[in-house]
Amino acid sequence: MIRASAALLAVAAAAAPALADDDTAMFVTAGGSIGVGTTVDGYDTLGRDYDPEGTLAARLTASWEPSPLAYKEPKGVRFAGALVPEVTLGYLRIADHRTGDVEDNTDAFVTVGGRLEARFSQHRMGLFGVSARGGFYLAGRVGALTDADHTPLLELAVGEHFFLGDRLRVGGEFGWQRFFGEQYETFVDTPVARAPWRDGDGQYMSFHLTVYAGWRL
């Protein structure tokens, strides 16, 4: 599955020229997330309270988006909208308080989706004549984990980013993920200390903060 995910990113990169117009380029973005997760109903398969736990993730994203907005001369502000498609390959770890096999607390994941973005550029504005370019966005993504059941997932996020020059950008987002795992109706004897979607605890969700840096190819 991981090889297939890497192949998907490679195919996406090869397809970029066909998707792009004269003002669109491919960005490659790397980031990391930290958050907290729990089951949706707050219980495990035995009906006991499920204590929230930490989550960590790494992400590599390919996206196709317009170039930074040009500055308004001699000074001023510009705004524009954009719909940005994305493909993400990630790696998720649950810092489960039920200590055990680390490998059973991790899974890779693949998502596809996009950002609805409000882009801006400001040139020599304010008391100190500040210039800046970037964007604010809402994002929606769907995908699956690489576990045996290929557990589906949904992600929603809100974020912003700023350009440092014409190619490099940095940003952050606050997101929510939901994993649609199987929920066992009766007790099943499973190994301890596994990720909740492997233990039959059912619907799992996490809230996370992501920071990232991207490069325009």
- Report the distance separating Cα 49 and Cα 213, nearest Å: 38
Domain span at residue 94 reads 2-15+24-216
Q: Nearest-CA neighbor of 111 among 177, 43, 188, 30?
A: 177
pLDDT (tens digit per residue) in 38-80: 888 877 767 778 788 889 999 999 999 998 988 888 888 899 9
pLDDT for 9 equals 45
Q: What secondary structure, in 3-state letters, does 25-43 show?
A: EEEEEEEEEEEEEEECCCE
Q: What angle do CA 166, 87, 35 make, to 5 degrees?
A: 90
Q: What is the pLDDT of residue 34?
A: 96
Domain count, the chain: 1
Which pLDDT does position 41 carry in this prediction? 81
Query: Token match 């792009």: residue?
Result: 20
How many residues are present in the chain?
Answer: 217
Q: What is the pLDDT of residue 98?
A: 53
Residues of the chain with pLDDT under 50: 1-2, 4-20, 99, 186-188, 191
pLDDT value of position 148: 82
